[in-house]
Amino acid sequence: MESNKHDVTAPLVFAITIAAIGSFQFGYNAGVINAPEVIIKDFINYTLEERLEKLPTEVLLTSLWSLSVAIFSVGGMIGSSSVGLFVNRFGRRNSMLIVNLWLVVPTGLPPFWLDCSSLQLHSI
Distance between CA atoms of 36 and 115, rounded to whole angstroms? 20
Kindly state whether residue 5 falls inside one of the protein's structural domains: no
Quick one: pLDDT at residue 110?
67
Q: How many domains does the chain have?
A: 1
Kindly state whether residue 2 falls inside one of the protein's structural domains: no
Condensed to tens digits (0 to 9), the pLDDT of residues 71-123 reads 877 888 888 888 899 899 999 889 888 888 877 777 777 666 656 655 555 55
Residue 84 burial (CB count, 10 A): 10
Kindly state whether residue 53 falls inside one of the protein's structural domains: yes
Kindly state whether residue 47 falls inside one of the protein's structural domains: yes
Helices (H), 1-124: 10-34, 37-52, 58-90, 92-108, 119-122
* Residue 42 pLDDT exceeds 50: yes
Kindly state whether residue 68 falls inside one of the protein's structural domains: yes
Residues of the domain holding 89: 10-122
Kindly state whether residue 43 falls inside one of the protein's structural domains: yes
Distance between CA atoms of 45 and 63, rounded to whole angstroms? 12
The dihedral of CA 5, 11, 12, 13: what is its sign?
positive
Distance between CA atoms of 97 and 87, rounded to whole angstroms? 11
Q: Closest by alpha carbon to 43, among 63, 29, 69, 61?
A: 61
Top-confidence residue, 118 or 39: 39
